[in-house]
Amino acid sequence: MPLMEEMIVLSPSHKEAIRALEKAKLGPSPTMEQEMSTWDARWRAEALDHYLPQGWSFGIQKDEKLVAYSLIQPLLFFRGLTQTLWVEWFSAQTPESAQKLVEVVYRWARDKHIQAVVVESHKPFAQAFEESPFSTAVQDGLLTLKTSKMK
């Protein structure tokens, strides 16, 4: 039987699942340096406490296990746009999950009349946005997916 995949809106109840997903990437015996790098990670506890209650972050679960997620918040009046979605962090176990999550973020932004989705172009997850079928542009280190007919 194939694994059941489900798109979810993340909430504070997903905090430990996110931390477990990220810590699993460090391996079974992380070094002291790896452990210390988690102190200022974009997915550290304080960041999750900020992003998860907002209702803008999404995840993908397979058989109730988190396999991909995004930490997102709206920005008002960024670069002259009324509403922009800022992607703080994005993580996926497979390229397929990454592409599905990018599509959900893009379509959610369009549905909510957000004018653009913005990510830092040098982050490891930016490639998933660059490879998306949606219109992208890079300016000042930020990759932008246009979600409206803006100039």
Q: What is the pLDDT of residues 120-129, one digit of tens each?
A: 887 777 888 8
Specify if 55 maps to a domain.
yes
Within 13 Å, how many C-alpha atoms sit on residue 17's CB side? Answer: 21
86 to 23, 53, 119, 142: CA distances (angstroms): 24, 16, 6, 10
Grade residue 151 by pLDDT with cuts at 50, 70 and 90: low
Specify if 24 maps to a domain.
yes
Structural domains of the chain, count? 1
- Computed from CA positions of residues 33, 143, 147, 97, in that sequence, does the dihedral angle turn out positive or negative? negative
Specify if 66 maps to a domain.
yes
User: What is the domain extent for residue 11?
Assistant: 5-146
Burial class (CB in 10 A: 0-12, 13-18, 19+), 15: middle
Which tens digits make up the pLDDT trace of 11-67?
Answer: 999 999 999 988 887 777 767 777 767 677 888 899 999 999 999 999 999 988 999
Q: Are 84 and 114 in contact (CB under 8 A)?
A: yes
Specify if 27 maps to a domain.
yes
Burial class (CB in 10 A: 0-12, 13-18, 19+), 33: exposed
Q: CA-to-CA distance for 40 and 150, rounded, in angstroms? A: 35
CATH of residue 93: 3.40.630.30
Instruction: Provide CB contacts within 8 A for 77, sequence distance 6+.
Output: none
Specify if 151 maps to a domain.
no
Token pair for 48: 């999750």
- Phi and psi, residue 35, nearest 5°: -60, -45
**Amino acid 149: pLDDT:** 67
Token pair for 128: 């998933």
* pTM (2 d.p.): 0.85
- Given a cut of 70, whether residue 145 has pLDDT beyond it is yes
